[in-house]
Amino acid sequence: MLEISDLQRRFDGRPVLRSVSMRLEPGEYVAITGESGVGKSTLLNLIAGLDRPDGGRLALDGADYGDLDEDSLTRLRRDKLGFVFQAFHILPHLTLRQNVVLPLWLKGRKGPQADREADRLLDAVGLADRADSWPRELSGGEMQRVAIARALVHAPRLILADEPTGNLDPSNAAKVLTLLAERIRASGAMGILVTHSPEAARSADRVLHLTPEGLSA
Amino acid sequence: MTLAPVFLGSLARRRTATLFSFVAILLGVALGMAVQAVNQAALSEFGRGMRTMAGAADLQVVGPRGGFDEGLYATLAARSEVAQASPVLEMRTERIGSADGLRILGIDLFAAGPVTPALLPRPAEIQDGSDRDTRLAALAEDSLFLSMAAREALQVDPGDRIQVHAEDRTLTLRVAGDLPGAPDDPRLAVMDIAAVQKHFSRIGRLTRIDLRLAGGQDAQTARAALEPLLPAGLMLEVPEAAVDQAANLSRAYRVNLTMLAAIALVTGGFLVFSAQALSVVRRHTELAFLRAIGLARRQLFLWLLAEGALVGLLGGLAGVALGHGIALGLLTLLGGDLGAGFFSGLSPTLRFSPWASAAYVLLGIGAGVAGAWLPAREAAAVAPARALKSGDDSALSGGRGVPMLSLAMLTASLPACFIPPIQGLPLGGYLAIACLLAGAVMLLPTLASMLARTLPLRGPVPARLAAARLAAAPGQSVIAATGVLASVALVAAMAIMVGSFRDSVDVWLGQILPADLYLRAGRAQSAGSLDEALQARLGKIPGVARVQFTAFESLRLEPGRAPVELLARPVSPDGDGLPLVGSARPAAKGETQIWISEAMRDLYGWRPGERVLIPLAGDEVAVQVAGVWRDYARQGGAIMMDLADYRRLTGDASVQTAAIWLAPGADGIRVGEALKSTSDSGALEVAFPGEIRERSLTIFDRTFVVTYVLEAAAVVIGLAGVAASFAALTAARRREFGMLRHLGLTRRQIGAMLALEGTLAAGVGVLGGLAAGGAISLILIEVVNRQSFHWSMDLHLPWASLLWFAGLLVALAGLAAILAGRQAMREDALLAVREDW
Ligand SMILES: Nc1ncnc2c1ncn2[C@@H]1O[C@H](COP(=O)(O)OP(=O)(O)OP(=O)(O)O)[C@@H](O)[C@H]1O
Ligand SMILES: [Mg+2]
């Protein structure tokens, strides 16, 4: 369960998030939309623990971010969060399987069993036969599918996706969004999809709008 | 190790840059290892030789080269502290007509047995018809026993005869056998002591007494008890001291070479730094992504260090292997002294030392880690949220430099110059050099942006783009330039130092060799000498206008220190004609005055005007120091005194060399022939100053061959730095090039832009390097050389070659930049823009 209450963030004295509150139940998948510059990525960074709020409270499964130091936040990301980025961030010098298994490596798990889990997820995103290929050979849509597999491989509690289709053409974007929603639901994790496209937002269970005033349905 | 593929795999992706870093560390480690291995081989060989000589002796009585009265032997042998005393008369001589040196040890066969058994001769069975008893052969007056190495060097067999210098005569000796206990020294020969005394006119003289102490006697107590029995100028030494003295003499030279190799290694570290710094910039988002998905800051830092360490480890391992190869080559080509003449005559063999090798591998790792440190720290400090957003290399660090800190470092080098030598090593000088180099590198960004601001923004597009880039991101150009700066500084410093040194030696040779001809009976330090009758004959030869004689002796002034050379020749009371340093303070009439070399001043603390005691002919003689002269020949110190004084004080009228001035119109060659024929059998040698000078300068140049090798390596490393940096930079800028190609720039124009960027970056490095090198050369001349070798020199700037070198390096850097950029430019333009990596 993710709880956010009265979250605030200012940059150089300029308030970007004034008061954001929301609650995410286990298994829930929401989309957050809003105008460019309204603070969607800022909010996601706070949820990811990559940035600290100026006020308010954040808690994942009962763990209050305010009580966690940087190392604990890093561990929290490693164990409980999965990420899908607009720019994919697939490492070019690793094979697809190695890219997907990376979060398991970070947790210190290496070996055939970790590889099997990666292969299972590659299979789920339809790239089972490409496990030993290099990222260079992939299209943008395929890269994002690899990223989705990577975001889920370590069975995270919460998946964060910031404009995952921003670099994709519409038909590829649709496929990736369907796949993302399907995989998140299959895993039973919570999901937050940030996007400014209404169609994209519809792939989630519920849609929230971020405005300078806060989040609203 | 789970993340190894993520980080170390990235090294493989940056193949070119990684390779250059590897090569740089490899060269640095290899050179250091080679110098170390050669020195080690030479030193252990030398030490082994000395131990054979000394055998079981606990103490040795040593004195001037001219020897001392053998009466002391009987006195010591009768003492209760002494179990056995063995008298030795050592004569250094040469085979007639060759430069093959020979150390003939005259020993008492019966006394030597228990003390120095290694020196005992083994008579060979000689079938020459005579039925001499071979056991008595050792006592025969003309019997000479050679070590196996000496027999090989001289190419003689038992029964053969060889001729050597003895005084101004020729002495014919018969090879009677070998020395089974001391096979390795190519100059060692043993004879019966009485025969040596007779042949070399040293009746009643000894040069050494080896002592074995009675059981239960420790060396220190015995030494204290026996010391009062010795006449002035004689010392009791523990045999190891001789090894130490030789090691000490060459130590400064060895340390200097090692420092040069270290600078090469430091340059290698800079290369790793530039490669890692650029790779971190390039992997900005990649690293941010890893942090975002849960890689801890510390882990990231450690892994980035591990990348550097791996390059260092590989470079270190390969470097140690290559270093041993180089050492083998150097030993075969130049011998154990690397051309410096400290160990001539030894034939050392290379031995693999696991500890030294491990140390050098560690140094390689150290260089890799040190180079990776700053970039890793910077990468770990980056906030991932922001880096993820920026998404490309727009986050290049500007690198404005730290002017205050760099100025502080530069200033700190000044006081470091005044630190006195520590154990004879110029550590303060090295510290000053390190401060200077570090300060100069840190000042580079400031220098670069200052320079960039003066660049005009006009001309063809590539030029404008290049200049704009240097102005906007001097940090990157500076990274490419650090290696250049370090290597240029090293080369410039060495070039100026060696140039000044050579120039000073040349001038000095002219000053100390003012005559037209020089005559000697064998080498100046050998058994050859010119007696009074001969001296008189020389002056009467037609064509000779003036003759000046020099007598050589060696004195022991302090135990544990190498002997000091005494030169006695006519010296004018005000020191005119000597290569004086500073002004003379001639003594009052009636005082005996001496002139000391710079090494005497530094080692013994003697000053002009001071009255000191020197041991001459068994007595302490009070003399006054009248001035200091420059001497590049005798690192252990030298004293010059007037020949008349010397004769008056010692009663010894024989001399070793004669300097001859020709009468106007006389033919040097013909006079030389006439001079030679004043003595019977060709035992006299004539040399012209020109030849001596040439030979000296050849030896000088040979000494510095190794430093040229080290300099060349540093330059290669510096250039590799430019190439590596630009390879990394251009790879990161593929998209920029793709975009420029879309805008309509030709490949050629992009090439020109890269060349210009490379030239500008290298130019900045070269400028900084020349300035730093000039300053370092001053430290080398005024601090390092003064403290290591105790000689001064006059500054001489080899302008022309420095400018050539700088120009060439800048051009090569431009070329390296183009070559490095080639790969990136080959990329299809469209692909390059789309490509995300
Ligand atoms: N580190 C920062 N320092 C200063 N200002 C920041 C920082 N990060 C974000 N901002 C500002 O905060 C505001 C919100 O930025 P944010 O990236 O969250 O917008 P967004 O909703 O994700 O926009 P888009 O849809 O374009 O991605 C912007 O005005 C941005 O300039
Ligand atoms: Mg955003």
pLDDT tens string B480-502: 777 788 888 888 888 888 888 88
Q: Residue B279 pLDDT > 50, yes or no?
A: yes
Q: What is the mean pLDDT of residues B142-168?
A: 85
Nearest atom within ligand 1 for CA of residue A51: 1
Looking at per-residue pLDDT, the higher value among B136 and A76 belongs to A76
State the pLDDT at residue A47. Answer: 93
Which-ligand-closest: CA of B386?
A: 1
Residues of A near B (Cβ–Cβ under 8 Å) read 41, 45, 48, 50-51, 70-71, 74-79, 81, 83, 85, 87-89, 91-94, 98, 102-103, 105-110, 136
ipTM of the complex: 0.81
> Among A84, A89, A139, which would you mutate to test the B interface (most chain B Cβ atoms within 10 Å of its Cβ)?
A89
Comparing CB atoms, the residue among B286, B292, B388 nearest residue A91 is B286
Looking at per-residue pLDDT, the higher value among B178 and B385 belongs to B178
A20 - beta bridge partners? A7
In short, whether A195's Cβ falls inside 6 Å of ligand 1 is no
Which-ligand-closest: CA of A32?
A: 1
Helix runs in B686-836, H state only = 689-703, 705-732, 734-743, 747-779, 785-789, 799-826, 829-834
Least confident of B88-97, B442-451, B724-733, B797-806: B724-733
Residue among A7, A18, A42, A52 to mutate when testing ligand 1 (max atoms within 8 A of CB): A42
Which residues of chain A are within 8 Å of residue B837 when distances are taken between CB atoms? 92, 136
Place of tokens 């491989």: A153
Mean residue pLDDT across chain A: 89
Asked if B9 and A94 come within 8 Å (Cβ–Cβ), the reply is yes
User: Rounded to an integer, what distance in angstroms lies between the CA atom of residue B293 and that of residue B304?
Assistant: 17
Asked if A79 and B294 come within 8 Å (Cβ–Cβ), the reply is yes
- B1 vs chain A: nearest CA distance in angstroms? 9
Comparing CB atoms, the residue among A93, A107, A108 nearest residue B13 is A93
Cβ density class A39-69: b for 16+ within 10 Å, e for less: bbbbbbbbbbbbbebeebebebeeeebeebe
Looking at per-residue pLDDT, the higher value among B135 and B502 belongs to B502
Report yes or no: B528 and B522 within 8 Å, Cβ to Cβ.
yes
Comparing CB atoms, the residue among B2, B12, B391 nearest residue A108 is B2
User: Rounded to an integer, what distance in angstroms lies between the CA atom of residue A15 and that of residue A56?
Assistant: 13
- The Cα-based distances of B42 to B36, B250, B341, B562, B778 in angstroms read 10, 11, 11, 19, 31
CA atoms in the 13 A half-sphere facing the CB of B18: 17
User: Rounded to an integer, what distance in angstroms lies between the CA atom of residue B416 and that of residue B435?
Assistant: 9
Please tell me which of B531-535, B732-736, B822-826 the model is most confident about, judged by mean pLDDT: B531-535
Q: Residue B134 — very low, low, confident or very high, per pLDDT cuts 50/70/90?
A: low
- B385 vs chain A: nearest CA distance in angstroms? 6
**Given its phi and psi angles, is residue B492 left (phi above 0), alpha (psi -120 to 50 degrees) or beta?**
alpha
As to burial, measured by CB atoms within 10 angstroms (0-12 exposed, 13-18 middle, 19+ buried), residue B52 is buried
Asked if B5 and A48 come within 8 Å (Cβ–Cβ), the reply is no
Q: Give the number of other Cβ atoms within 10 Å of residue B751's Cβ.
A: 18
> Among A74, A132, A167, which would you mutate to test the B interface (most chain B Cβ atoms within 10 Å of its Cβ)?
A74
CA atoms in the 13 A half-sphere facing the CB of B799: 0
B393 touches chain A (CB under 8 A): no
Cβ density class B114-152: b for 16+ within 10 Å, e for less: bbbebbbbebbebeeeeeeeeeebbebebbbbbbbbbbe
State the pLDDT at residue B689. Answer: 85
Q: Residue B404 — very low, low, confident or very high, per pLDDT cuts 50/70/90?
A: confident
Place of tokens 């150009």: B477
Asked if A94 and B837 come within 8 Å (Cβ–Cβ), the reply is no
A22 - beta bridge partners? A4
Give B389 Cα–ligand 1 centroid separation in angstroms.
10
Q: What is the mean pLDDT of residues B458-468?
A: 72
From start to end of B536-591, where are the E strands? 544-555, 564-568, 580-581
Beta strand pairing call for B657-662 and B544-555: antiparallel
Comparing CB atoms, the residue among A98, A106, A110 nearest residue B293 is A106
- 3-class secondary structure, B231: coil
Give B383 Cα–ligand 1 centroid separation in angstroms.
15
DSSP for residue B588: P
User: Rounded to an integer, what distance in angstroms lies between the CA atom of residue B555 and that of residue B235?
Assistant: 10
Comparing CB atoms, the residue among B3, B9, B389 nearest residue A93 is B9
Give A162 Cα–ligand 2 centroid separation in angstroms.
7
pTM: 0.70
- 3-class secondary structure, B438: helix
Nearest atom within ligand 1 for CA of residue A163: 27
Largest CA distance in chain A: 51
Task: List, in order, residues 6 or more apart from B110 with CB less than 8 Å away.
Answer: none
In short, whether B386's Cβ falls inside 6 Å of ligand 1 is yes
Q: Residue B837 — very low, low, confident or very high, per pLDDT cuts 50/70/90?
A: very low
Q: What percent of chain B has pLDDT over 90?
A: 10
Report yes or no: B246 and B46 within 8 Å, Cβ to Cβ.
yes
Residues less than 5 Å from ion ligand 2, measured at CB:
A 41
Asked if B294 and A106 come within 8 Å (Cβ–Cβ), the reply is yes
User: Rounded to an integer, what distance in angstroms lies between the CA atom of residue B486 and that of residue B762?
Assistant: 11
Q: Residue B131 pLDDT > 80, yes or no?
A: no
In short, whether B648's Cβ falls inside 6 Å of ligand 1 is no
Looking at per-residue pLDDT, the higher value among A117 and B66 belongs to A117
Q: Residue B577 pLDDT > 70, yes or no?
A: yes
For residue B27 the two structure tokens come to 């060269």
Q: CA triplet A106, A107, A113: central angle to 5 degrees?
A: 105
Q: What is the mean pLDDT of residues B514-530?
A: 72
Nearest atom within ligand 1 for CA of residue A210: 21
Asked if A103 and B293 come within 8 Å (Cβ–Cβ), the reply is yes
For residue A25 the two structure tokens come to 């139940």
- 3-class secondary structure, B458: coil
State the pLDDT at residue B593. Answer: 92
- Phi and psi for B422 in degrees, rounded to 5? -110, 115
For residue B87 the two structure tokens come to 């008298």
CA nearest neighbour of B772 among B494, B498, B451: B494
- A32 vs chain B: nearest CA distance in angstroms? 18
> What domains does chain A contain, in order, with CATH numbers?
2-92+156-216 (3.40.50.300)
State the pLDDT at residue A23. Answer: 92
Place of tokens 């430099």: B401
Report yes or no: B748 and B55 within 8 Å, Cβ to Cβ.
no
Give A161 Cα–ligand 2 centroid separation in angstroms.
10
Closest chain A residue to B5 measured between Cα atoms? Answer: A94
Give A37 Cα–ligand 1 centroid separation in angstroms.
5
- B9 vs chain A: nearest CA distance in angstroms? 6
User: Rounded to an integer, what distance in angstroms lies between the CA atom of residue B777 and that of residue B782?
Assistant: 8
Residue among A9, A17, A41, A47 to mutate when testing ligand 1 (max atoms within 8 A of CB): A41
CA-closest residue to ligand 1 atom 17: A41
User: Rounded to an integer, what distance in angstroms lies between the CA atom of residue B343 and that of residue B42?
Assistant: 7
- B369 vs chain A: nearest CA distance in angstroms? 23
Task: List, in order, residues 6 or more apart from B265 with CB less than 8 Å away.
Answer: B25, B28, B29, B31, B32, B363, B364, B367
Give A209 Cα–ligand 2 centroid separation in angstroms.
14
Q: Give the number of other Cβ atoms within 10 Å of residue B86's Cβ.
A: 27
For A108-114, which contacts have Cβ atoms below 8 Å and span 24 or more sequence positions? A108/B2, A109/B2, A110/B2
Give B806 Cα–ligand 2 centroid separation in angstroms.
51
Report yes or no: B544 and B663 within 8 Å, Cβ to Cβ.
yes
Q: Residue A22 — very low, low, confident or very high, per pLDDT cuts 50/70/90?
A: very high
Place of tokens 């760099």: B406
